[in-house]
Structure 1
Amino acid sequence: MEQHWKELLAIDRYTVKSSSVLQDLDRKILTLLYQPLLGSKCFSLYMTLWGELEQNRLWGEEMTHHSLMMIMQCNLREIYRERLKLEGLGLLKTYLSETSEFKRYVYELQAPLRPNEFFQDGVLNIYLYNRVGKNKFAQLKRFFSDQQIDHEMKDITRSFNEIFDSGQSVDMIARVNEETLADLSLADDRDYMQTTKRAEMDISDDVFDFELFFTGLSEAIIPKKAITPSVKDVIKKLSYLYGINAVDMKNVVMNSIDQDDIIDIELLRKSSRDWYQFQYGDTLPGLLDKTQPQHLQTTIEKKQRTKEEEMIYQLETISPRQFLTDVSGGRPPAVGDMQIIEEVMLQQRLEPGVVNVLIYYVMLKTDMKLTRAYVQKIAGHWTRKQITTVRAAMDLAKHEHRQYQQWAEEKATKKSTSAKKAPIRKEMLPSWLKEDDNDESTKDETKDKNEQLHIDQEQFELEKQKLFDRIKKYKDNKSNT
């Protein structure tokens, strides 16, 4: 993550604004639909900012971030991180002006999507389904829906012109002059209160290669006029959600065109789900398909990257599911391995890139095996240390590798208590895990042990390079598709 202190200090001011009047229904939507996706701290930040608005007003009073820290009992780093989550889900817009002494922010709260919009979103509803499960999801749908009017009943409501005399309207309009028009208009620096403006989850264009998508596109099969702005937005969301590249998306879109050469949005969503389930079985995308959030990735240009920085980039831009698939030579990962990683992501809430480092580290130290207890123990340590970036995970693994090796040896020792104790292999470490070792004990190592360590080091480097080559091959193939 960006260093939060470069972006935000406790003395910096902020004012809360709402894009529309927030209502009780919005509170229920945030609590039951958004909170499972955001987490309790992020939800608390939104509700705290909302609480600073007077009832049915759009602006709050100016405050310092120090006061927000006191109210939420959170440090500035946590507030900054949770703020970014709100921005990512479209629930908050942030505006900034700077002075020589401090920064001044305006936090504009966005009303959450209406229930019908949320449950038909195509992204948020899928994530919620995976987070809360089938039964709870069905319960939430029932909670946010109600009985329709009987279709057999006839609408007998009168129209405006049936009740009001048109002559009166003509007479009123005739008396309107420039002064009246000025009185009717609102000053440029004012906004009318409204309840219709809703959160919009913005997915940037770089998640989908539209240039490749349109390349070689046959007008006879998919007319370009059918790709309207709203269709493009849905394509971006579906590509991000299901991991569909530009080439595969052509076939998905092709199956969604009706007889009038119009793309049916609902059919497009269904075709995308069918594609995903054909690729990965009868499941819906969840945590394992996420990649490292953009704001937690490095920004070094490709030409300037070192070998270690290239590895960091690869771990940041691939999902844990694809990482497991890639190191298995393209074969789907074992169900047990996926369950272990999904448990870590759900319970420890580690970022996808950090989980990739965890997989990489554990596999290299345990002969390409994932052991639940060992993975969870390291993951718990990283969670307590609040590790959110790939580089930070690598640095901590380097600093703590002796402790992690001891954990692995203790586990191996326990397993061998009922059998003849087998020699424990001393796993070597990749370059980013090496550190200077000045312990006196290392000076007493025998020549034979050094030779064995050298052999293990060569074997380890071969395994490490094999993993790196698999990841790089996947990324190269993806970019050339």
Structure 2
Amino acid sequence: MEPHWKEIIPGDQYIVSIDGMQNIGDNKVLTLLYQPLIGPVCISLYFTLLNQVEDGKLETEPASHYYLMNLLDLNLSQIYEARQKLEAIGLMETYMKENEDLRSFIYVMKPPLSPKQFFTDGLLNIYLYQKVGRDYYNRLKQTFANKVIDKTGFDKITKGFQDVFSSSHFPYHDQIDEHDLTVKYPTKEIPETIMVQPPHFDFDLFLAGLNESVIPKQAITTEVKDVIIKLAFLYEIDAIQMKNILYSAINEQNQIDIEALRKAARDWYTIEHYSSLPKLVDRTQSPIYYANIDVPKTQEERLIRYLETVSPRQLLIDLSEGSEPLESDLRLIEEIMVKLNLTPGVVNVLIQYCMLRTDMKLTKSFVERIASHWSRKKVKTVTEAMELAKSEHRKYVDWQKQQKEIKSSPRKTTRTTRQEPVPDWLKNGGQTKQVEVDENFDFEAEKKKLEERLKKYKK
């Protein structure tokens, strides 16, 4: 993800456009259902942009982002991050036109899903359930539930249009202007559900692996395909596992039972992840946690920028010279980000530090212990994580030594004392300690290998 200053500056102009009028119920949906997922800053930006459109109009006059920054009392990186989340969740579309010295944006505000659409979405409702908990989730469902009035015993006596009105025919000499009949007025737009495309899920491969004698191709309707893709993204299910899940959701009519499919996917996930449900987390570091570096100049500043803008998964791939990371490593990183609420940039520093300390492996106990410490310290930025690693390096070495002593066998072995490698940024203030390590392990070679890998990071 590009830094915000490459995508937008305060002087850039924007116009807000709406496809249709919103109703009063949308405000309640946004506040109670969307806000727990994307946060109050996003909702504030949404309402601020929407309310700039005057009643009866479909768009605003051009304004600068500097004006928007003053309205919201936010910096541009916060506005840019909130805008991206609104786009991702389907509440906003952004269009850009760039001239030589002028960049203009059109922000098209989209209506939220209806309560029925939201609670049957299969994606947003799961994230909301995990965010607010079972009891409050059920209260929210009751808040938006509409009871159908029982009309039993009543007769319908509603008059039809032709019963009340008639059409009179009198001479009319003025010519009707077709433009008067076709002018566009604000109308309520039908909200669209979120479309996702999980990068790890190959739908064509999934279809190719299906046994048509068990599941005919006509059973994979547009609705079923949409549900499958959402479930694959939500629970990180690959094509092979999804095939097995789909087999359990086929009914006697050789059709896919949508609810059975969702339940089977949830059951699979809860078994794999110990009865938990997925949370909605950012893929990369939020711009609000970026270091105040306009143009990285030193090696350390370029490394900080890289760790801020790359995802933990991509970092593991880069450190492995393009190889896919182990499933166990990805699961460990996922648990740390979700359970301990660490930001992606902080997790990237943790990965780099721990892999160099443990022979390019992620040792679960060592990683989790440091991650817990950083979580308690409420570390949010890459620079904070680096500084804490420097100041607490001696403690972490002692932790590692204790773990080695616990796991080591009673028999005596020939050992030698050598200084273990650390990242270059740790040397500028971190204190090292001589610890016992295996003589056969060439730490300097491993350190050089890691440095070569990190030269490939994005600028």
TM-score (norm 2): 0.72
Contact 2:206 2:239 (C-alpha < 8 Å) held by counterparts: yes
Note the C-alpha offset of 1:369: 2.4
What is the aligned partner in structure 2 of residue 328 from structure 1? none
| 2:264 alignment partner AA | S
Deviations 1:381-439 (A, max 9, x none): 78543xxxxxxx4x876676422415647999xxxxxxxxxxxx998346xx2359589
Q: Give 1:271 shift.
A: 2.3
Q: Secondary structure at the match of 2:193?
A: coil
The residue that corresponds to 2:22 in the other structure is: 22
- Counterpart of 1:47? 47
User: How far is the alpha carbon of 1:355 from its aligned partner?
Assistant: 3.2
Which structure carries more helix by proportion?
Answer: 1
Q: Confirm or deny: 8 A CA contact 1:398 1:434 kept in the other structure.
A: no
- What is the deviation of 1:122? 0.6
> Which residue identity lines up with residue 218 of structure 1 in the other structure?
N
Residue aligning to 2:33: 33
Q: Runs of 5+ in structure 1 lacking a partner?
A: 326-337, 386-392, 413-424, 466-481
Give the equivalent residue in structure 2 for 1:358. 350
Deviation at 1:34, TM superposition (A): 0.6
**Does the 8 Å CA contact 2:98/2:104 hold for their aligned counterparts?**
yes
Q: Distance in 1 between matches of 2:440 and 2:387?
A: 21
1:143 aligns with 2:153: no
1-side partners of 2:74 and 2:286: how far apart? 24
Deviations 1:214-260 (A, max 9, x none): 12422221111221222211111011111221112122222223333
Which residue, out of 269, 276, 279, partners 1:283?
276
Distance in 2, matches of 1:125 and 1:319, equals 28
SS in 2 for 1:369: helix
CA distance in 1, matches of 2:388, 2:440: 20
Matched ranges for 1:118-157 at <5 A: 118-150=118-150, 152=152, 156=156
For normalisation by structure 1, the TM-score amounts to: 0.69
- 2:218 aligns with 225
Residue 341 to residue 427, structure 1, CA distance change in 2 (3 Å) = farther
Distance 1:253 1:49 in 2: 42
State the match for 1:106 in structure 2. Answer: 106
Aligned letter for 1:249? M
1:251-306 Cα shifts (integer Å, max 9, x gaps): 22222233333323222222222222343343322358x8659998759xx9xx99
What residue number does 1:403 align with?
A: 391
* 2:201 is aligned with 1:208: yes
Determine the structure 2 residue equivalent to 1:375.
Answer: 371
Deviation at 1:149, TM superposition (A): 1.5
- Summarize the Cα distance change of 1:429–1:23 in structure 2 as closer, same or farther, 3 Å threshold: farther
Q: 1:235 aligns with which of 221, 228, 231?
A: 228
Q: Which moved more, 1:81-90 or 1:196-205?
A: 196-205
Question: Could you say which residue in structure 2 is the equivalent of 1:274?
Answer: 267
| Counterpart-to-counterpart distance in 2, 1:201 and 1:240 | 12
1:323 aligns with 2:313: no
State the SS of the aligned residue for 2:126: helix
How far did residue 31 of structure 1 move?
0.9
Q: Distance in 2 between matches of 1:293 and 1:153?
A: 61
Letter matched to residue 4 of structure 1 = H
Q: Distance in 1 between matches of 2:264 and 2:49?
A: 40
Residues 261, 158 of structure 1: alpha-carbon distance in 2 compared, 3 angstrom cutoff: farther
Residues 418 and 436, structure 2, Cα contact 8 Å, conserved in 1? no
Q: 1:248 aligns with which of 241, 247, 259?
A: 241
* Partners of 1:396 and 1:438 in 2: CA distance: 14
Aligned identity (percent) is 32
Alpha-carbon distance in 1 for matches of 2:194, 2:285: 14
Deviation at 1:312, TM superposition (A): 8.8
Aligned to 2:403: none
Q: 1:370 to 1:72 in 2, by over 3 A?
A: farther
Q: 1:452 to 1:437 in 2, by over 3 A?
A: same
Q: Any idea what SS the aligned residue of 1:14 has? A: strand
User: Mean Cα displacement is larger for which, 64-73 or 270-279?
Assistant: 270-279
Q: Per the alignment, do residues 215 and 307 of structure 1 end up closer, same or farther by CA in structure 2, a change over 3 Å counting?
A: closer
1:113 shift after superposition:
0.5
Q: Distance in 2 between matches of 1:427 and 1:159?
A: 91
CA RMSD of aligned residues (A): 4.5
* 1:111–1:198 contact (8 Å) kept in structure 2: yes
Stretches of structure 2 lacking an aligned partner (at least 5 in a row)? 288-307, 401-416, 450-459
- Give the total of aligned pairs: 404
8 Å contact 1:91–1:199 — kept in the other structure? no
| Residues 364 and 460, structure 1, Cα contact 8 Å, conserved in 2 | no
Identify the residue that residue 413 of structure 2 maps to in structure 1: none
The corresponding residue for 1:332 is none
Going from structure 1 to structure 2, the CA distance change for 1:72 and 1:457 (only over 3 Å counts) comes to: farther
Amino acid at match of 1:198: P
Q: Supply the distance in 2 between the matched residues of 1:66 and 1:319 (Cα, whole angstroms).
A: 46
362-371 or 71-80, which deviates more: 362-371
- Residue 83 of structure 1: aligned partner: 83
Shift of 1:455: 4.5
Aligned-residue offset at 1:127: 0.4
